[in-house]
Amino acid sequence: MARSSAPAKPEPKAPPADADENGELPEGWAHANLGELIGSNGLFTDGDWVESKDQDPNGDVRLIQLADVGDGYYRNRSSRFLTKHKAAELVCTYLKHGDLLIARMPDPLGRACIYPGDTKEAVTVVDVCILRPDSSGPAAKFFMHFINSPQYRVFIEERSQGTTRKRISRGNLAGIPLPVPPIAEQKRIVAKVEALLARVNEARERLAKVPPILKRFRQSILAAACSGRLTEDWREGQLQLPDANEVLKAILENRKVKWESRKLARLIANGAAPKNDYWKREYEVPLPPESEEVFEEVPSWTTTGLEAILATDRPGMKTGPFGSALNKSEHQASGIPVLGIENIDSLQFIPGSKIHITKEKANELSPFDAKAGDILISRSGTVGEVCVVPANLGEARISTNILRVSLEPDTMLPQFFCFLFVGSPFVKNQVRRLCGGSTRDFLNQGILASLLLPFPSLTEQREIVRRVEKLFNLVDAIAKRVAAATARADKLTQAILARAFRGELVPTEAELARREGRSYEPASELLKRIQAARTEGKPTIGRKRGSKGA
C-alpha cells in the first residue's frame, strides 16, 4: 500500500491538565490523549497488511474492510476471507466482540464503530485501527461516541495527510486529546447518547425507506402511462378520439411526400446526389418490426416501429463518432460541447460537458449534432438512460457512447418516447430479448429499429406527458422534504454528540455528589490510576512486529 508523501501537519497542542480549573472543562473532568487512556491490558494497533494474493474466498477467517466500518454502526458489507494458516503466517490480530474499529481513510475520515462479532473468526485491514480498552479506563462505547463527535473530527482533519485521498496514522489518532469525565459520568453520558440516538436512528431508518418507495412509484406511473391505464378516465370523457391507426396511416403518407420532395430539391440543387448521400437511396415504406411480445390493445391505440416516426429532414438515428473521427488530442476545456452519458440521468438532461471541441472540428462533425427536442440514449456504461435535449442548449455534438434519435414533428412527443423506453414493460421486454445471449453490452440502431412501440394519438400523448410530469413534480417535492429531514437528522446526531462532550447532556458527577452530599472521584484520579497500571504492565500500542502498515 502506497504511503502518502505529504508533509506531516503540526500537531495541535494538547490542553493543559488543569483545563477544568480554567473553565475549559466541566468540573471533575480532565484532558488526556487517546493513547494514554488505554489500560495495561488494552490494545491499540493497526489492522493487518493482507494483500490480494493472501486472500482465499474459501478461507475460514473473515477480513473486515473499510466498507464495514460505519459512522457509529457496523455495516457488514464486505466478503473477503483468508485461511487460518495464512493469518498465522502474517501474525494477524484476531478481533474480539466489542472491539472499537476506527477507519483511517474516508468517508468520513476517522469514523468508528463497535465490532459485533461474526460467525467466523475475523481480522481487519491495515487502514482500520483496533482499539480494545480494559476495565481500568473508559469503555469502548465512550471512545466510539467521542471519536464520532464533531470536536474529534476537527482534530482528525487537522492531523490527516495525503492529497488525492486523505488518511490519518494511528500515531496521530493516539495523540488527539479527549475530555475525560469521571467513570460514573461516562456511563451516564453513553446511556443518554444511545437513548437519544436510538430515536434519531429510528427516524433516519424510516426516512431511508422512502426513496425506494418513491422510485417504485415513479416506475408505476410510467408503466401506467405506457399501457394506457393512466389516461383511461380521460379517454372515457372524450366525445371523439382520433384513431391511432388512421393517424399512423396519414403519417406514413405524409412521410413519403416529404421524402420525395426533399430528394427532388436536393437533386436540383446539386445536379446529382453525391456518393453516399442520405437522399440518394430510394424511398422505402417503414414496416412495423416483427416482435414476439404482445401489446394489450388499448382502444384507439396501435403499435409502430421507430422508423415510421423518425425525422425526414436529417438522419433520424445517429451514433456518435468512432475512433479517429474524434481523438483525445482534440478535446478542449471550452468550445462546442460534446455530450456524453454524464449528461443523462433519470429522464433528465444534466447541463455541462467534460469535453469541448473547436468550431472547426464541430463543423467537421456536423452530422453528429444534437438539437432541441432530440432524444439522447446512453449506449454504454449505464445502458438505456434517456433524456430530451433542452431548448436552451445551443450548438452541441454527441460522443461515441451516445445514440441520438430525432422524431418527425407531430408524430410522437420526445418525452413520451422516453417514457416508453424506460417505463414500458412491453418495450423493455423486447430490449432484453434482443440483447439476450449476446456479448453486446451496448445498444445500437438495429435494436432500436427492431422495437415495436405503443402508439396513441398526439392528443393523448400530450395528456399523458402532462399527467406524468404533474405526478413526478409531486414525487420530487416529497423527495426534497425527505432529503431535508435526513439532513436535519444527521445534524441532530452531531449536535447530541457535541453537547455530550461539553458536559451539557447529563448532570456532572460533581454536581450530583454535592446534591447527594457525597464525595466522588474526579477524572484526574482515574488518569493517575491508569498511568500507574501502565507502568506495571504496558498495553499493546503501535504496529505489530513485522507489520507493513502505514
Q: How do 336-339 and 397-398 pair as beta strands?
A: parallel
Using the 3D structure, point to which of 428, 456, 484 is the last residue of a domain.
456
471 shares its domain with 452: no
Q: How far apart are CA 543 and CA 43, in angstroms?
A: 11
Answer whether residue 446 shows pLDDT above 50.
yes
Q: How confident is the model at residue 16 (pLDDT cuts 50, 70, 90)?
A: very low
Q: Which amino acid is located at 508 in the chain?
A: T
> Taking residues 131-137, what's their average pLDDT?
86
Q: Quick check: is 7 in a domain?
A: no
Rounded to whole angstroms, the Cα distance separating 110 from 156 reads: 7
**Higher-scoring residue by pLDDT: 62, 3:** 62
Does any domain span residue 448? yes
pLDDT attached to residue 539: 65
Residues 325 and 259 in one domain: yes
Residue 444 CA to residue 317 CA, distance in Å, equals: 10
The residues, any chain, with a CB within 8 Å of residue 462's CB and separated by 6 or more, are 413
Q: What mean pLDDT, rounded, does the chain reach?
A: 87
If 0-12 CB within 10 Å is exposed, 13-18 middle and 19+ buried, where does residue 255 land? buried
Phi, psi values for residue 254, rounded to 5°? -65, -35
Under 8 Å between Cβ of 316 and 445? no
Identify which has the larger pLDDT, 160 or 272: 160
Quick one: average pLDDT of 403-423?
A: 96
pLDDT band per the 50, 70, 90 thresholds, residue 239: confident
Q: How far apart are CA 252 and CA 249, in angstroms?
A: 5
What is the average per-residue pLDDT within 145-156?
89
- Residue tagged 483545563 (cell numbers): 19
Q: pTM of whole model > 0.95?
A: no
Q: Per-residue confidence at 22, pLDDT binned at 50, 70, 90?
A: very low
pLDDT at 273: 58
What would the grid cell of residue 17 be?
Answer: 491538565
Instruction: Note whether 204 and 288 are same-domain residues.
Output: no
**Lowest-confidence segment of 129-138, 241-250, 486-495, 539-548 by average pLDDT:** 539-548
One domain, residues 235 and 257: no
pLDDT at 40: 80
Domain assignment present for 548: no
pLDDT at 118 over 70: yes
Does some domain include residue 9? no
Residue 526 shares a structural domain with residue 506: no
- pLDDT above 80: residue 536: no
Quick: pLDDT tens for 184-207: 999 999 999 999 999 999 999 999
**What pLDDT, on a 0 to 100 scale, did the predictor assign at position 546?**
43
Question: Does residue 444 share a domain with residue 350?
Answer: yes
**359 and 498 inside one domain:** no
Residues 43 and 128 in one domain: yes
Question: Is the pLDDT at 220 greater than 50, yes or no?
Answer: yes
Q: 314-325 burial by CB neighbour count: b if 16+ within 10 A, else e?
A: eebbbbbbeeee
Question: Does residue 371 share a domain with residue 259?
Answer: yes
Q: Judge contact between 313 and 329, C-beta under 8 A.
A: no
pLDDT greater than 50 at residue 111: yes
Please check whether residue 254 lies inside any domain of the structure: yes
**Would the pLDDT of 11 be above 70?**
no
Average pLDDT over every residue of 90-103 = 96
The candidate with the shortest Cα–Cα distance to 381, out of 403, 351, 404, is 403
Task: Give the structural domain span for 394.
Answer: 242-456
Whichever domain contains 333, its CATH number is 3.90.220.20
Asked whether the beta carbons of 341 and 383 are under 8 A apart, the reply is: no
Phi then psi dihedrals of residue 513, to 5 deg: -60, -45
Q: Please tell me what DSSP assigns to residue 33.
A: E
pLDDT single digits (tens) 285-322:
787 788 777 888 788 999 999 999 999 888 999 999 98
Per-residue model confidence as pLDDT tens digits over 44-55: 999 999 999 999
Coil, strand or helix at 14: coil
Q: Backbone phi, then psi, for 414, in 5-degree steps?
A: -55, -40
Question: Is the pLDDT reported for residue 12 higher than 50?
Answer: no
Looking at the structure of the chain, the number of domains it has is 3
Q: Which tens digit of pLDDT belongs to each residue from 258-290?
A: 877 877 776 777 666 555 555 556 677 787 788
> Does residue 24 sit within a domain?
yes
pLDDT above 70 for 547: no
Q: Looking at the predicted structure, is the pLDDT value of residue 21 above 60?
A: no
Please spell the DSSP secondary structure of 171-203, one letter per residue.
Answer: HHHHTSEEEE--HHHHHHHHHHHHHHHHHHHHH
> Is the pLDDT assigned to residue 540 strictly greater than 70?
no
The single residue listed with the C-alpha cell 434482443 is: 434
pLDDT of 33 strictly over 70 = yes
Q: Across the strands, what pairs with 317?
A: 405
Q: Are residues 292 and 421 in the same domain?
A: yes
Tell me the mean pLDDT in the region 367-385: 90
pLDDT value of residue 10: 42
- Whether residues 443 and 533 share a domain: the answer is no
For 93-104, what is the mean pLDDT?
A: 95
Place of cell 441532530: 492
pLDDT of residue 542: 63
Query: Has residue 480 been placed in a domain?
Result: yes
DSSP E strands in 346-385: the ranges are 348-349, 355-357, 375-378
Taking residues 531-549, report their average pLDDT: 63
Q: Is residue 499 part of a domain?
A: yes
Specify the pLDDT at position 390: 96
Same domain, 190 and 119: no
CB atoms closer than 10 angstroms to residue 548: 13
Return the pLDDT at 75.
Answer: 94
- Closest by CA to 479, choosing from 260, 254, 216, is 216
Q: What is the DSSP letter of 387?
A: E
pLDDT at 429 over 60: yes
The SS3 call for residue 342 is: helix
Mean pLDDT of 309-338: 91
- Work out the average pLDDT over 456-482: 97
